[in-house]
A and B are shown apart, each in its own frame.
Chain A
Amino acid sequence: MAQYNLSINGKSMNVDVDPNTPLLWVLRDHLDLVGTKFGCGIAQCGACTVHIDGEAVRSCSYPVSVIEDKKVVTIEGLSEKGDHPVQKAWLEHDVPQCGYCQSGQIMTAASLLAENPNPTDEEISYAMNGNICRCGTYTRIKAAVKTASKSL
């Protein structure tokens, strides 16, 4: 076990966990931030996507020990009122079905648009391809990313 001081959603948080513990489980089990989801545990599905220094990262495969002073943002911290342009676009298109994959989808989309505010269809597909939606909401996700891109 080891002590870590993490910057999560702009707040400093302390945890005492095994250094190999993936960020996903630190968030879910120790910090009660359960918006970040467990889907596969092996970086294949994207359900656990968070931002680390702005970049979309699979938190299930990111040990807490390597975070150091990097800034972590989860779905709970993407915006204060749930009104990030990507979240708003998701509501406008009423994207979710079961909804389980959607926080990961939104985090990936938000980081894509931060880097590339005007992605082409191909760029959207390429960026979003690591996020599985078992319910098959891809066409709405793509449309929502485009809507968000217009409002940026």
Chain B
Amino acid sequence: MKTASTKINRRSFLKVSALTGGGMLLSLNWLAACQPKEANALGMPKEWFQFNGFIKIGENGLVTIMSPNPEGGQNVKTSMPMIVAEELDVDWENVLVEQADLDTKYFTRQFIGGSQAIRSGFTNLRTAGATARAMLVAAAAQSWNVPANEITVKTGIISHKGSGKSANFGEFASLAATMPVPEEVPLKSAGDFKIIGTSKKNVESKNIVTGKPLFGIDTKREGMLIAMIVHPPAFGKTLKSFDDSKARNMPGITDILQIKSIQDDYKKTFFDTVQFTDLIAVVGESTWQVLQAKKAIKAEWEIQEAYEEKRDMLGREGIRVVPKGLESMASQEQAMMVAAQKPQTQRKDGDPEAAFAQAAKVIERSYTGPFLAHNCMEPMNFFAHVKGDRVECAGPLQKPELTEQALSSRLGIPLENIEIAMTRLGGGYGRRSYAHWLIEAAVISQKMNAPIKLIYTREDDMTGGVYRSRYQATYRAALDENNQMIAFHVNAGGLPENPLYPDRFPAGAVANYLAEGWEVPSNITTGSFRAPRSNFMACVEQSFLDEVAEAAGKDPIDFRLELLADAKANPVGERNDYDAERYAKVLELLREKANWGSSKDGISRGVSAYFCHNSYAAQVLDLKIVDGEVKIDKVTNAIDCGLVVNPDAAKNLCEGAVVDGIGTAMYGELKFENGVVNNSNFHQYRQIRMKESPDSIETYFVENGEDPSGLGEPAYPPVFAALANALYQATGKRFYDQPFINQLNS
């Protein structure tokens, strides 16, 4: 048994006087959606007793656990409370889950990003549960007048063997909630887990399948108006003037106004990326009326001058250079070619050039990856109501804590007067980290002095995104006459972001290694996209290694395992950011589960593996070509993400990552012509559909007793290459440029 100090995050374990989270901002509809699970025999209690920011217990023993992080499909709203419930030792059937509001006083890291929710929250969540359990025990000890250490707790029942006394949590809830918060609490050992590691159904499924209003876009308030924005038609342009004489007189239109979202002189943080700050806002009674008026606005746009903005890049001072001009695919390609000639060395081991000069064989290949749009199914939206020096907001966002600062500065409203209720996200994938739309909604509400729900159309979203950057990489590998890889060179860059991770595999496994990176400034806004940078680097690295293995005459899994064995026995350099043993284990598990080496009629197989977000993922993808169409038969996943809290939900997430990865590799592409996005909606941006997704997906987890690490992202990057490598087996052609459909069709 280990113990945890409640000190580190003591503020979240201290009792809170008022009821936190839950209802305040939520409309009646919302509350209706938060009723207890049907099977629950206890019913609703008459009174709740608050133990800490996470837990309240009713007099009948029903427990409410607050889920601190926004939920966008990663299952945190189920998995995180499971961890609290485990240490509290309550029957999961007697737990209700509520979404906590943004509350920096009680919670830390209330955001989605980097697959870190479970990893960084693990000990905190456990401590929250264990603290409440200890307080219940203390209350029982006092009432029964027995020593606390003789009391046991089992699934919601407190007992004392000696006196034969026992009670459910409810009986001591009121007393326990007044007990002092212990300095240190014991935590269970993993072998005693009863909830963690068992599959629990998504707590929200019933509400989802019955169409309950769970999402930001479903928000409705008394007197609420609908707002939409008109943004420039091209990156590199800005608003000059507009004529709204027709639009303004259309039915249901309340007002049309020019707004400025984030101000030019605001010192932006990493997540304050905003593509267009000067916008036209159309406000009216209903969505359809606003949509019509939006189309009737005649705006003039002018070329935006170049500028630079200072930014706080997660603690480091950064500068974003925003050049002038209307970019096109060809002009970007030109600029990238030039920049690739003048890279910065990010890591160098040994003497790569000498090794290349002595090589028996040199393999060199170049790869490209296009801009990608996130295309969350729920278009960007937010509710805001500015009332004097207070503001209430509700909606889907990934990084509420960071957005709050920009909002406070923009509105001139102190942080403590800002309330943000986190609704369920209809997908995030990184896009909802950049919550400029929340600021836009609040600015409109402030100007209109009314509650506002801002909605982006699909077109507004797709043509005004914070996209994945455009990337390019060239790899070289040198083999000696024994087919040993003696040198490795990667030159990677992007517009505007450099995707390189210089210390990742095969760094550490090759004596002579060179990693170089470069960037080309652009006025196209880009940012986090599911597994940032890894989503490109995994594809190209793992495609390249497949080709090197072939050139060396080796099986692709054996080839990787040999390199990993070298990296483990004689690591080159000190900064290698992966554990060669765990990496190899996941490949070995994959080899076994996918039955690698066996062959099935007409099936072509590709393999890939990658480490990111502290987890290891490896995949075998099986496909066949039927009448010129790619049919994906099966994908086998082997994953090492440490302890798996909710196995079936974890599998669901991996399945989604696989489907998303295949779709993006095959079809994802956003193109620019003179600053204009060529893809405005799903008829021009192909998303994977059922026919194109795998017939079956199997997922296996490595069991190694490690603490849980990320899962939302790690299974996504490698599948791109598993697909490319399988396509090579099927067609005899290597796929160097995403999306692969272009080459398949040509």
Interface, chain A (partner B; CB < 8 A): 1, 17-18, 20-22, 25, 28-30, 32-42, 44-45, 47, 74-76, 82, 87, 90-91, 94-103, 106, 121, 124-126, 128-142
Contacts and interface: CB of A to CB of B under 8 A. Distances in A.
Contacts of B74: 97
Contact of B683 (A42, A98, A129): A42
Contacts of A100: 215, 376-378, 426-427
B214 interface: yes
B242 interface: no
A112 to B, nearest CB: 12
Contact of B681 (A1, A44, A90, A142): A44
16 contacts: A1-B251, A21-B286, A28-B287, A35-B213, A37-B217, A37-B377, A95-B652, A98-B428, A103-B208, A128-B690, A132-B682, A134-B429, A137-B656, A138-B689, A139-B695, A139-B696
Contact of B377 (A94, A101, A141): A101
A94 B682 contact: no
Interface string B46-67: 0000000000000000000000
Contacts of B709: none
B288 A25 contact: yes
Contacts of B683: 42, 44
Contacts of B206: 82, 91
B204 A99 contact: yes
Contacts of B214: 99
Given A102-B209, A139-B696, A42 B426 contact: no
Nearest to A75: B211
Given A25-B288, A101-B377, A129-B690, A94 B652 contact: yes
A42 B427 contact: no
Given A98-B377, A100-B427, A137-B655, 16 more contacts: A30-B286, A39-B458, A41-B458, A47-B377, A82-B206, A94-B649, A97-B652, A99-B208, A99-B426, A100-B376, A100-B377, A106-B209, A133-B377, A133-B659, A138-B688, A138-B690
A138 to B, nearest CB: 4
Contact of B663 (A22, A28, A136): A136
B114 interface: no
A126 B552 CA distance: 43
B118 interface: no
A83 to B, nearest CB: 9
B566 interface: no
Interface string B367-409: 0000000011111000000000000000000000000000000
Given A25-B286, A136-B659, A97 B653 contact: yes
Given A18-B251, A29-B287, A29-B288, A35 B690 contact: no
A142 B693 CA distance: 11
Nearest to A90: B209
A139 B697 contact: yes
Interface of B: 29, 72-75, 201-202, 204-206, 208-215, 217-218, 220, 226, 251, 286-289, 292, 375-379, 424-429, 455, 457-458, 648-649, 652-653, 655-660, 663, 681-683, 687-691, 693-697
A44 to B, nearest CB: 4
Contacts of A37: 215, 217, 377-378, 426
B215 A136 contact: no
B205 A141 contact: no
A36 B211 contact: yes
Contacts of B378: 37, 39, 98, 100
Given A94-B648, A135-B656, A40 B424 contact: no
Nearest to B458: A40
B426 A103 contact: no
A84 to B, nearest CB: 9
Contact of B652 (A38, A41, A45, A137): A137
Given A29-B288, A137-B652, A91 B687 contact: no
B687 A132 contact: yes
Contact of B691 (A17, A28, A91, A126): A126
Given A29-B226, A38-B379, A96 B288 contact: no
A111 B688 CA distance: 22
A40 B659 contact: no
Most buried by A among B211, B218, B695: B211
B288 to A, nearest CB: 4
A82 B445 CA distance: 37
A41 B209 contact: no
B647 to A, nearest CB: 11
A17 B554 CA distance: 68
A35 B211 contact: yes
A90 to B, nearest CB: 5
Given A76-B210, A98-B425, A139 B379 contact: no
The 6 closest A-B pairs by CB, nearest first: A35-B211, A136-B659, A100-B426, A98-B73, A97-B73, A75-B211
Nearest to A128: B690
B22 to A, nearest CB: 20
Contacts of A129: 689-691
A39 to B, nearest CB: 5
B205 A98 contact: no
Contact of B217 (A38, A106, A138): A38
A93 B16 CA distance: 38
Contacts of B287: 25, 28-29, 38
B375 A134 contact: yes
Contact of A138 (B218, B226, B375, B693): B693
Contact of A32 (B220, B681, B691, B694): B220
A22 B72 CA distance: 28
Most buried by B among A37, A98, A131, A137: A98
B211 A76 contact: yes
Contacts of B689: 128-132, 138
A135 B660 contact: yes
Contacts of A124: 690
B660 A136 contact: yes
Contact of A140 (B204, B208, B457, B655): B655
Contacts of A38: 217, 287, 379, 455
A22 B691 CA distance: 28
B212 A35 contact: yes
Contacts of B653: 97
A21 B682 contact: no
Contacts of A30: 286
